[in-house]
Structure 1
Amino acid sequence: MLAGGIVVHNTCGFAALASVLFVGARKKTGDRPHNVPLIALGTGLLWFGWYGFNAGSELRVDMITAASFLATDLSASFAAITWLIVERLHSNRTSFIGLLTGAVAGLATITPAAGYVSLTTACFIGIIAGLVCYGTVLLVHN
């Protein structure tokens, strides 16, 4: 398993829970994004950092490093585009926030397998990530 997978996600989940419990609820609530440029900047920084996270986990440069780098990019890209397509089919609109959310879904989903799957499989993982995560967001908001 590349880049820690479940260890990283469990640790981050508990850290997020602790942060939410410490900080408390937002004063302003609503479904609208608060600052789209900062969301885009954060997604770009995450995407860039994810290359080091996935490709750098092996601590050397070889074919697995190159494969994990490409798989990371393809999965995020396919998840982002899948999110846009599903959003268009479902609500007859697309959003930049949806594109960014799909990309992060693809990044998170490919992480444990990035160096060990073919590039075609990485594309399929991205597509599945976009579909499942969009569906999950619909379930949470309804």
Structure 2
Amino acid sequence: MILQIIGAVVSLAFAVFIIYVVLEKNKLEYIKQRTVSILNQYGLVHVEGKKIYFTTSKHSYQILFFRVPTNGELTINSKTMWEIIDSGTSKMIDQSIFLATEKPKLVMIYPTTHVIKRYINENEMVFVKPTDSFYEMNLIRTIELEEVLKEGIL
């Protein structure tokens, strides 16, 4: 009897986990589709396999997507080391593979609403604006993409 209850609980937990993974994947696909449709209004979007490129009259970019939890804070420590602080825990992420291409990048940060921060030296930090280009990239929260494109910043 106890083994059956344990089996049912484990099965239920596994099913909930699978549903969560599928919902997160669907959310990312929705964000990608919405972003591409917004970008198409302001330039040319070209999809090559899993890579998305965006060309305006001024520049050409590779579009990358990076998930930061809703209440998470993103801090750029260096070109390849990023930190996410969520619920009091800090997680360091090595971005050397994510940012490997030489082409300028627009990194779409979703779904966070917190301001993105960046260290400019050992003890100075600045807030990152969509207009700030550093390390061959611009960081844009998906909630501000359309406004940035309307203003012609990119």
Task: Tell me which of the two structures has the higher relative contact order, counting C-alpha pairs closer than 8 angstroms and 6 or more residues apart.
Answer: 1
Query: What TM-score does the superposition give when structure 2 sets the normalisation length?
Result: 0.29
Structure number with the higher strand fraction is 2
Structure number with the higher helix fraction is 1
Query: What TM-score does the superposition give when structure 1 sets the normalisation length?
Result: 0.31
